[in-house]
Amino acid sequence: MILKMKTNFSSIEFLESIKNGEDSARDAIVRAYTEHLYKAALGQGLSNEQAHDVAHSTWMTFFDVVHRFEGRSHIRTFLFGIFYNKVSELRRSNLKYSQSDPIDEIMESKFQDNGHWKEGLPGDPERFLDSSQGLDIISLCLDELPELQKAVFQLKVVEEDESEEICNILDITTTNLRQLLYRAKSRLRECVERKSNA
């Protein structure tokens, strides 16, 4: 615990230590982020066993490729980029995705010709967000997002990472990033409206 508190994961010394495979550096970063990886995997809707597997697989890949980390972002961002790719790989291997995306039709029905929404969120948005029911609905709706949209939303909106950083992590273009973020926000709004009125 003391090691975890004293370690500066952004320092040049730590980055050199981790790239050189020093046990103390490996131990410090594993102790600091394993629980975060596990909880993030559960947040992605994975089972306990899958969450442990993804966390383990993330660490294996991280230590295989950390020598390529250039230090332009926080090492946590680099680690979670690997994590999101692992979750995507798992889902691709387990699920068959539909070629069509029903959100396109839904979104067309929700917009006016000038691009504005036809209807707003139910009631007062601030009161909705402050209510426990509102937070539960948002959490459920986040879980329903496709994994890449959820990853983009998490990195851009929640963690407030830079667009260029996100594109590097997820191996997407800036155009794809904008489209994915737009779709994620649109799906969230549609889902919140649907569940709030249910």
Q: How many residues does the chain have?
A: 198
**What confidence score (pLDDT) does residue 118 get?**
59
Q: Which domains does the chain have, with CATH numbers?
A: 2-94 (1.10.1740.10), 103-196 (1.10.10.10)
**What confidence score (pLDDT) does residue 105 get?**
55
**What confidence score (pLDDT) does residue 32 get?**
92
**What confidence score (pLDDT) does residue 6 get?**
52
Cβ neighbours, 10 Å, residue 189: 16
Q: Can you give the pTM of this predicted structure? A: 0.49
Q: DSSP string of 55-123?
A: HHHHHHHHHHHGGG--SSS-HHHHHHHHHHHHHHHHHHHH----SS-THHHHHHHHB-TTS-BSS--SS
Weakly modelled stretches of the chain, pLDDT under 50: 1-5, 96-101, 121-124, 128
**What confidence score (pLDDT) does residue 82 get?**
92
**What confidence score (pLDDT) does residue 99 get?**
38
